[in-house]
Each structure stands twice: as C-alpha cells, then as structure tokens.
Structure 1
C-alpha cells in the first residue's frame, strides 16, 4: 500500500519523501477547487518529484458547467504539462474529455457521489480501462470497501487523515460580506482569490467551522479532522493501492517526524503521539460503522406508526408557554375532562398528563371531543409537534 500526500511547492518534495510518501498529489490553483500551486511552478514540481522517484498525480477536481468546460480545457492544453502519472477528475464532463481525447491514466474521484458498486462499475466500464484508480467516499465502511476491492478491476484509494469537507458550492458566499463591510480603519488585506475564516452555527452550540472561499467557490469544513489510523489492520485488509493524507496547513518538522515513525511502525504508541500533536480534535468517521441513518426512524416516529386501541391523535402545533393543538384521529376514542393522556415523542420518550380543561380552535371551553376535531390544551414542556397521543 502506497501513501499519498498533497504537495504545494518544490520545497516540500524531499521532506514528504523522507516521511514515507511515494505518491504526490499536485493541485494547481487554476485547475482544482482548493489547490494553491501556481501554474508557473507546476512543471518544475513535477520534474523534481520524478527525479526523486515519486509518482505525481494532477488534481483536476473542478466542477464545470456550460462554457466553463471549454475555458478549462483551453487553459489545460496551454499548460502543456508533461511527465506526470495520472489526472484525478471529479466532473463527468472532464472524464468524458480525457477518455475520448487522450490516453492518460485517470483517477476517478467518487467522493461526492456514485457510492454504490453498480455505479462505480459503470464508470469503470465506460472509461474502457482508462480509469486506473477510484477514489472512494469516506462514508463507506470497511466491509463495503473490502467487497469493492474484490469486485472492481482497478486500484482503490481512501482518505486516512486530514480535514473533513462538509459542504461545497460554486457560489462565492464570503467575499460579498467583506465587500459590503469594508472599514477604512481595519488593517486587513482583502484577497478575493482566497479567503479563510471561522464560522459559528446560529442554530446549535457548534462553532469554529473553517470556511474557505477560492476562485472556484465556497467550502465549509468540520471543526474536527478525520483519522482512521486506529483501524490499521482493517485498512490493510481492504487491499488498497493508496491511503491519502491531507497535510496542507499542517506541514511542520515535528509532525512529519512523528508521522514518519508511525508509517514505518504503525504501533499504538506512535499513533498516540501523532494524535497528541495534531492541531485539531480527531474523529474516526464512518470507516468502522456508518450509523448516520439511525435517527431517521425517530424523525418519522416509525416506532409508533401502529395505532393501538388507545391511540387518540397527533400533536400538530405547539407554542411554548401558551398551548398545544391535538388533531383527534381515532374513530373510537373520545377525549374528555379528567382523562389522562400519554404523549409519546419521536425520540420514544413518554409524558403523562391529566386533562383539567380544554378548548376548541375558537377558544371556547369544551367538555368532550371526538374524531375529526382539534383540541387546544395548555402547553406541556417536552411535548413537540409530531408527538403521538394516547389515552391511558
């Protein structure tokens, strides 16, 4: 298994080789979404890497629409780059171009879609064996990857360590803010080509999301980074061609020294040291188990879809401190003053209350209500919309 890392300038090449990397990913600022390497340095970086017996892959992960594809290809052809080993593409339009107009080796990036095996087989067959490697999505579990390695007739690559991309859009979301809030007293330089700030959520306690805008759009990353190195034996059993590391913004002598020790000897003590000096909190992601769909059942209240004999109706509206509204859906049950209700929330938590008074939607007090009617009760804490209501 090879180890791959991004390279941004010629000075990083020997250091990355000494760390243990045999593959370098070169992301040009003009051809990739997030790359920083300048056009004038690309061929020099490629040549230096080849002199050090390293493989070089060009990251061409732009998403292109309309005339953008033509402009991109014109620029690509004008660079006339040589001596690299493969191109890494994300956009199907670029894949079509490289398959039909070139004989270059292709690494197909499936991280933003095409997660299922049949789709990946389709792309592989479509390329007529030009796709030499498929870059798999970080959301795939180890067991699926092991299956894919047996079914796909090409190399596979997964993501091992680095920042987690949560959101990308071709729109420029950050620069309008700075353009509209310029203050002559502020001592900052506004660079439209690359903006990086931290953002906080207004709807949750989560904060410090890295937000980046480049010429190709806007990115939001997780405050925590991905590390699946705890599962080293599972990684080896996946029969991978390459494990990718994203060390951009984190390249320093101490970190590379510790990473070198781990790659040479992937032992727990070396991994522990690596985690201790990594600048951000690390999470293991979905490699061992992807349980991101566990909450879907609770959101739909699937556990409570069976309407037992004591089922009364559903809460359709709540206003904290004021009231809640129940739609009575049972054709048998009748609600009246003095009865006890059980509110069963989507998260399966139950709350029992005794009905002391109730009103219709006109605000008039009523003693009894039945099928098809709407009943207003005082608001009870912990009761939300989509809660099922039962008679006790």
Structure 2
C-alpha cells in the first residue's frame, strides 16, 4: 500500500517523506487546482524529484485544472519539462489535457484526478483503455463500489483517506465564481466559499437577514466535516486500493507530518498482523492535536447525513501547537538544538513528535542561546536555541505544546 502525502512546498515535502510517506503530490505554478499554495517552480520541482528519488520515493504532479483555451498555452512545453525532470506521474482530470499528454509525453504515467469524478467501473475502464495507469476515486464512491471497480478493471485505484471534504461533486464547484470576480475554483483559485456564514434574504425585504437555523451566529450550510478513514484501514485494503491519499497541500508542516506518521504506523501495524489490527488510542489522540474540523467517514460505508456537516462555525479545532523544529541532538551534553517556530519559555511542558521514534514529553528546564547564555524564553522567530532533553531526539522532530499551557 502506498501512502501518498500533500506537498505544498519543499519544507512540507521533506517532512512528509521523512515522517513516512511513500510518495508526495505537488503542483507547479500553473495547471493545478491549488493556485494559493506556495507551489513549485520547475527548478524547485527538479530539486524535489531529486530529493525524493534519493530516498527511494516518488513525486506526482497535478495538472488537473479544467482549462479554457487560453489555459492551454504553454502546456506542451510544461509536460515535456515534467518528463525531463523525471516526475513519476501526472494527475489529469480534463480529457483534452489527457489527450495532449498521451501525444506529447506518452511514456509519462498518467493518474486520473478525483476531479474527473470517476464513480463507476465503466468510467474507470474508459480511462484504463485510453492509457491511464491509475484512477483516483471520486470522494462520493463507497468502499463497496471501489471493490466492484477493482474486481472489474485492471487499473490502479487511489482513494482519499484524510483531510478536508468538499460540498460539491469531488470539488467541481462554482460558488467561488459567483461570489468573487475571476476566481474559478475549477482552474485552481477556489476561495472556499463553502466555509462562509450564510443567511436568507427575502427579495422584497433587502437588507434583512434571516438565519437559516435559529442561531444568532447564522449557519454554515455547506461546511463539511473532515474525512478520517483511519478506523476503516482493513476495509481500504479489502476494497483494492493501492494508494491512500492525504488531502492538504495548503495545510501546515505540523499537520502533514502528524497525519503522515499516524497513517504510516497504522499501515505498518496492519501489514505486520492484519488479523489482530486495531486502531490505537494514541493514533486517534495525535489526529486531534492538529488543526481540523470534526471528523467524518464521508461516503465510505454509507451516505453522509446532516451529522456530517458543521452548521455553527467554520473554524478548526486543535489541542496542540507547533513551537519548534529539532535541528540536531548533542548526545554527550543531552542538548537539543531547536529552531523556534512559536514563543515558548522555561517551565512549560512540551513534547517531541519524532519522524520514526516514540513521542517524548518533558519540561523545558533551561533555554540557552547560541553563546550558551540562559534565556527565560525563546521569543524571536526562527531563533536557534538549545534545550536540555534527557532522551535522544531525531533531527526534524517537532516540538509541540498543549495549547492550554500557553501562558
């Protein structure tokens, strides 16, 4: 089973791979559906491919907009460049882009994006017969239907298992077009209108806003809960998926690393002993620490109900915040060299999430600056400090603090 993680920039790519992803998906400066992510220039993408391949891992690139004529300008050269820097696959939704890719770079594997809305075996067969290597299932497909597709069509199947859900059909939304000027969600510029607060206005009473529900805050009628299929890992295997995909190219480094590590541990545990697999409480706890909406199982085993929406607010919840990144550990002096990412001070209780090792909890007894002088706090952005930690820590471990302890 491949674990596929989002990479909004090079830092997130590195963390995803170090924390256990087998592959990452990312976008270039054009032709992808996340225009507001940092995204990669071709030079940065080449560095990313080189880094991932050095770890024996893969890079998939999104070319999944629904283009208008003008959007096709430069596409042949872009596809050729992706081939030349040796990306492992491109994700495509539009038949026109697919056709051009098959003509221009016939040896470059094509994965059919979830935006193509593949919900049945006939559609999957169409893409397979046309030359697609993999099909990413629409989020609206149940695991029962995924298995039926797997049994009928000899094509790789990929499915989303964690992250934000969309009120529209696998992301095909026009709300952004209506509420903003020239912000087409199907061409990479969605402003997430589904997270806005909505009220009703009656045409003969302009300016009078009536809540859709009896709530003084209004309601968020399009605001889906976040997907989490960790409890259904055995079912994901049984359905015939070959790749489990995490949403979140615009999410934080903390989010990407935490989710990747949880699913990495779960996949490894299942593959070691499928018969006795169970979801560990510490995995569930980890997924609560990151910024997220309440979780839902989406369409995986039944149709969503009103309980799968969040009607009262659009803000996320989380229990912990990312405050530092471990650069290195001095085993002789038992000091962790930490790059500050948020204010922390002496006396606070913190924990370290490691790429491979166990979770380490301790109190901040001292903070030393680069000259070895004691500080009462690490106040400055990306300030490098040393903190005594008795247990060895891996480089790229994330230092976190429970949010209620932030004083």
Q: TM-score, normalized by length of structure 2?
A: 0.58
Counterpart CA distance in 2 for 1:177 and 1:85 is 32
How far did residue 291 of structure 1 move?
Answer: 6.3
Measured on the aligned residues, the alpha-carbon RMSD in Å equals: 3.1
Preserved CA contact (<8 Å) 2:142 2:301: yes
The answer on 1:82 being equivalent to 2:94 is no
Report the CA distance between 1:141 and its aligned residue.
Answer: 1.0
Q: Which residue of 1 aligns with 2:109?
A: 105
Query: CA separation of 1:11/1:81 partners in 2, compared to 1, >3 Å: closer, same or farther?
Result: farther
Aligned residue runs from structure 1 range 149-298, under 5 A: 149-167=150-168, 168-169=173-174, 172-176=177-181, 198-203=195-200, 204-205=212-213, 207=219, 222-253=223-254, 256-257=257-258, 259-265=260-266, 267-279=279-291, 280-290=293-303
Whole-Å separation in 1 of the counterparts to 2:150 and 2:192: 37
SS in 1 for 2:32: coil
Counterparts of 2:165 and 2:48, CA distance in 1 = 26
Structure-2 change in CA distance of 1:29 and 1:77 (3 Å): same
Going from structure 1 to structure 2, the CA distance change for 1:63 and 1:258 (only over 3 Å counts) comes to closer
SS class of match (2:117): coil
Match of 2:49 in 1: 46
- State how many pairs are aligned: 265
- Seen in structure 2, the aligned counterparts of structure 1 residues 193 and 96 have a Cα distance that, compared at 3 Å, is closer
**Mapped partners of 1:164, 1:264: distance in 2:** 24
User: Bigger CA drift: 260-269 or 46-55?
Assistant: 260-269
Supply the distance in 2 between the matched residues of 1:194 and 1:290 (Cα, whole angstroms). 25
The alignment's TM-score, normalised by the length of structure 1, stands at 0.60
* C-alpha distance in structure 1 between counterparts of 2:232 and 2:246, whole Å: 15
Secondary structure of the equivalent of 1:33? coil
C-alpha deviation, 1:152, in angstroms: 1.4
* Alignment partners' CA distance in 2, 1:6 and 1:33: 13
- Answer whether contact 1:26 1:57 (CA < 8 A) is retained: yes
Give 1:330-345 correspondences, 5 Å limit.
Answer: none
- With over 3 angstroms needed to count, the CA separation of the structure-2 counterparts of 1:255 and 1:101, relative to structure 1, is closer
Aligned twin of 1:137: 138
SS at match of 2:225: strand
2 CA distance for matches of 1:248 and 1:288? 26
**2:182, 2:285 → 1: CA distance?**
40
Structure 2 residues not aligned, in runs of 5+: 201-211, 270-278, 306-407
- Counterparts in 2 of 1:229 and 1:68: CA distance versus 1, 3 Å: same
- State the 1:175 CA deviation: 4.5
Unaligned runs of 5+ in 1: 179-191, 210-220, 293-392
What CA distance in whole angstroms lies between the structure 2 residues aligned with 1:260 and 1:110? Answer: 24
Tell which structure's C-alpha radius of gyration is larger.
1
CA distance in 2, matches of 1:246, 1:276: 16
